[in-house]
Amino acid sequence: MKGRFIDGLLSACAALALWQAVVWLTGVPSFILPGPADVLTALINNRALIAENAGTTIIEVLIGLVLGAAIGGATALHLMISPMARRLLLPLMVFSQAIPIFALAPILTLWLGYGIASKIAVTVLMIFFPVVSTFYDGLRRTDPGLLDLARTMGATPTSTLLRLRLPAALPAFGSGLRLAAVYAPIGAVVGEWVGASKGLGYLMLLANGRAKVDLMFAALFVLAAFTVLLHAVTSVAARRMASWSKETDESGSA
């Protein structure tokens, strides 16, 4: 963990140095590409404004992530239990991925309004498919030997699902959560771009319209920092799920 943090810090420092070098060597105007120092100054001078809008986006992301993970997990379990659900829902899920979320966002805003509900809905739709697909795939890949043993011992389908398939699929569910942690902020910002009065996406549009590119970059970096933090937290949760699944398998084998 410490090594990864150091590597990430070094990569960030190298990227900032390269960015500053490009600004110095090309002489590009600050209203097109501000330097890191200009962005930091904008972040400090507008910290209250950025914090207020960041709070709205964070709430949208967290609620959408929890709802999307819960709905996606429940859907995957239902697909595993019901053959009828697999016949009806799987084609619809695949077809839904052919529709860009950018095209659905205006419709959801029209239906749900310009408040937080439409942004949460966009976020849920953004992360729903990754969670369902990874978790369902994990449920299907349970060790066949354990499934044969469960059938031999007369285990019911529900008991097999809860005691064998579910623990074995937790690492896959954790992988889905890691993907969701990256996609969820994208969904919230897309919803804010379509129509909002608060949020980092709204602030970026407002700053861009007023040619305050340094403020736009500052809001963007706050969003990126939050996304990295959210991904790190979900990665820790995913590793704990994997370790618990391994312990469950070892105790079951014993």
Q: Is residue 93 part of a domain?
A: yes
Q: How many domains does the chain have?
A: 1
Q: Is residue 19 part of a domain?
A: no
Structure tokens at 181: 């942690």
What does the pLDDT read at residue 12?
A: 84
Rg (CA), the chain: 22
Q: Cβ–Cβ contacts within 10 Å for residue 227, how many? A: 18
Q: Is residue 113 part of a domain?
A: yes
Q: Is residue 24 part of a domain?
A: no
* SS3 annotation, 174-194: HHHHHHHHHHHHHHHHHHHHH
Do residues 30 and 213 make contact, with C-beta atoms less than 8 angstroms apart? yes
Which residue segment(s) compose the domain that 212 sits in?
A: 33-253
Q: Is residue 193 part of a domain?
A: yes
Residues lower than pLDDT 70 in the chain = 1-3, 247-254
Q: How far is CA 125 from the centre of its chain?
A: 11
Q: Is residue 25 part of a domain?
A: no
What does the pLDDT read at residue 2?
A: 65
Residue 122 maps to which CATH number? 1.10.3720.10
Q: Is residue 16 part of a domain?
A: no
DSSP secondary structure letter of residue 29:
-
DSSP secondary structure letter of residue 25:
H
What does the pLDDT read at residue 1?
A: 59
What does the pLDDT read at residue 151?
A: 83
For the entire predicted model, the pTM comes to 0.90
